[in-house]
């Protein structure tokens, strides 16, 4: 009932199973909160990990990771609630997407900041990896949004399903944050590197898939895919 065709693998197999129960609870108790208010509250939860990472404490980093995954689960609730109550609006979608990007940048940026201070001998490398992770994350979201606007189709529905979606990125942050108390902050550096590589790979792969399949030419798939 609450699933979306563009859900990533973590949302589909983990997050929706929990978020749908939360949404059902809200519906059952006729909660007066609006979908947009939910979006703002979920965003506030998503900002908390950014503050915890900057303390550079391994235990707080693990706690931050748990909250990151909690935010990823809650991120589905506002949309589910809006669809179930018939209160979906273009502004609501715009607000949700924009605030999600703020949360993404704050989480990845704060991890990069913490890594720069805890690994001063590798400042340049940490900066580059952090920059690649942040920009890669934004580019994946941009490709999806621009695809829907320009191609009238979500790129995730073309060719290979999305493997670098927001739910996957946040789940990686969650897992690698749990490792910080045991193996150190290098685990989060590895996490940022994985996010950077998978995000950029996905972006360029989608550009290739869309071109190869001729999507968006004359408003439909081209009869001569692969031609410029």
Quickly count: other Cβ atoms within 10 Å of residue 29's Cβ.
8
Q: Domain 9-213 - what CATH class?
A: mainly alpha
pLDDT band at residue 222, thresholds of 50, 70 and 90?
A: very low
By residue count, the chain amounts to 228
pLDDT band at residue 162, thresholds of 50, 70 and 90?
A: confident
Quickly count: other Cβ atoms within 10 Å of residue 109's Cβ.
17
Residue written as tokens 């201070």? 117
Chain centroid offset of residue 92 CA: 17
Task: Provide the whole-model pTM.
Answer: 0.93
Say which residue, 228 or 26, is predicted with more confidence. Answer: 26
Token couple for 19: 């978020």
Active site (annotated) includes residue 167: no
Report the alpha-carbon distance of residue 154 to residue 33 in Å, rounded: 30
Catalytic residue among 7, 75, 78, 100: 100
Supply the pLDDT for residue 223.
45
DSSP letter at 120 equals G
Token couple for 139: 């580019």
Token couple for 162: 């999305």
pLDDT band at residue 31, thresholds of 50, 70 and 90?
A: confident
Quickly count: other Cβ atoms within 10 Å of residue 194's Cβ.
17
Domain boundaries, the chain: 9-213
- Helix pair angle (123-150, 186-213), 10° resolution: 30
Within the chain, residue ranges assigned H as helices are 9-10, 16-28, 35-53, 58-84, 90-118, 123-150, 166-178, 180-183, 186-213
């Amino acid at each position: 009932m609450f699933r979306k065709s563009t859900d990533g693998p973590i949302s589909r197999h983990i997050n929706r199973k929990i978020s749908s129960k939360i949404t059902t609870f809200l519906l059952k108790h006729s909660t007066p909160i609006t979908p947009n208010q939910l979006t703002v509250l979920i965003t506030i939860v998503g900002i908390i990990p950014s503050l915890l990472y900057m303390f550079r404490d391994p235990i707080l980093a693990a706690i931050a990771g748990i909250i990151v995954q909690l935010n990823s689960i809650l991120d589905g609730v506002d949309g589910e609630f809006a669809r179930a109550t018939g209160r979906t609006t273009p502004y609501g979608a715009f607000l949700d997407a924009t605030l999600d990007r703020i949360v993404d940048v704050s989480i990845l940026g704060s991890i990069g900041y913490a890594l720069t201070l805890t690994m001063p001998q590798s400042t340049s490398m940490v900066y580059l990896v952090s920059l690649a992770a942040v920009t890669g994350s934004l580019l994946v979201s941009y490709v999806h949004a621009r695809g829907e606007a320009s191609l009238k189709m979500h790129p995730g529905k073309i060719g290979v399903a999305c493997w670098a979606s927001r739910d996957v990125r946040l789940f990686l942050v969650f897992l690698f944050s749990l490792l910080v108390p045991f193996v150190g902050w290098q685990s989060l550096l590895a996490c940022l590197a994985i996010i950077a590589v998978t995000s950029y790979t996905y972006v360029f792969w989608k550009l290739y898939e869309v071109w190869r399949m001729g999507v968006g030419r004359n408003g439909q798939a081209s009869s001569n895919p692969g031609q410029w």
